[in-house]
Amino acid sequence: MRILLLGYGKMGRTIEKIALERGHTIVGRIDLGNRAEMDVLKTADVDAAIEFSSPEAAFENITYCLKKGWPVVSGTTGWLEHRAEIERLCKEQNGAFFYASNYSIGVNLFFRLNRQLARLMNGHAYQSSMTEIHHIHKLDAPSGTAITLAEGVIAETESLDGWKLAPDEEEGYLQITSLREGEVPGTHIVRYESEVDTIEITHTANSRAGFALGAVVSAEWLPGREGVFGMDDLLKNLD
C-alpha cells in the first residue's frame, strides 16, 4: 500500500523502516519544512497517512487528510482538545480516523491490566499515583499513554474525580509525576501505596519499534472502513 508519513522525526523514520520491510511504498515524507509537497498529492495517490508530528501540527494535518479523503492514523498527543472537531469532520467526510495514545500491543495489554488492577484495588486503603518517564524531546506532559492509564484508574476508583500533575496535594485526584530524561523510549509506573505495602505495575519500552509496528498494522487495517477507531477495534479484529 501507499503510505504518506506526516512527521519525519525518529518515530517517522522507524515507521518508514517497518513499512518498507512489510512491502509498502512511502509516497511522501512531510515535516515542517516541506508541507507544500502534500498539495501535489491526489486522493488516489495515498492509501493511508500515518501522522506522528507535533501537538501544534496534528490538528491541521489530520484535518487536511480527512478533507483529502485519506484514511489517517495518528499517534500524536497533546492536541486532544480538538478531538471532537476531528470526529465531527470524519463523520461529515465519511472518512476514517484511527487514534491511539500508544500503538504498542504490549502497552494496550497493559491498559487492560491497569483497569483490572484498579477495579480490584477500589475501596481498599491504598493511595494510587503514577510516574511516567520519557526522552527530553517529548513536548507534552503527562504523556498520552499516562493520561489513558489515568483515565482507566479513575473510571474504576470511586474516590477519584480526575488527575493532576504532581506535585499537587488536592484530595480526590490521581497524581502524575512526569520526568524527561535522556533518550529513553518510555516507562509508565502505576503505584498503589499503603502503610503496610506497595503494589506497582510497570511497562518499559525497550525501543520505538513496537509503537511503529502497531501504527503500520493500523494503517494496513484502516482503508475501506468509515468512522473513528482505536486500538480496541484493531485488537478485536486481530484476535
8 Å CB contact between 135 and 172: no
Task: Check whether 76 is labelled as a binding-site residue.
Answer: yes
Q: For the beta carbon of residue 172, count every other beta carbon within 10 angstroms.
A: 11
- Report the alpha-carbon distance of residue 6 to residue 1 in Å, rounded: 16
CA 107 to chain centre: 10
Known catalytic residue: 188? no
| Helix (H) or strand (E) run with residue 49 in it | strand 48-51
Task: Check whether 135 is labelled as a binding-site residue.
Answer: yes
- Report the alpha-carbon distance of residue 148 to residue 190 in Å, rounded: 12
State the residue for C-alpha cell 501507499. Answer: 2
Task: Check whether 77 is labelled as a binding-site residue.
Answer: yes
Task: Check whether 101 is labelled as a binding-site residue.
Answer: yes
8 Å CB contact between 187 and 204: yes
- Report the alpha-carbon distance of residue 209 to residue 18 in Å, rounded: 8
Known catalytic residue: 236? no
Check 68, 134, 188, 203 and give the catalytic one. 134
Task: Look up residue 97 and give its three cell numbers.
Answer: 480516523
Task: Look up residue 39 and give its three cell numbers.
Answer: 498539495
Task: Check whether 178 is labelled as a binding-site residue.
Answer: no
Check 10, 82, 138, 164 and give the catalytic one. 138
Please report, in range form, the residues annotated as the binding site.
35, 75-77, 100-103, 135, 144-145
Binding residues for NAD(+): 75-77, 100-103
Residues marked as catalytic: 134, 138
Annotated binding site for NADP(+): 35
Annotated binding residues for (S)-2,3,4,5-tetrahydrodipicolinate, as ranges? 135, 144-145
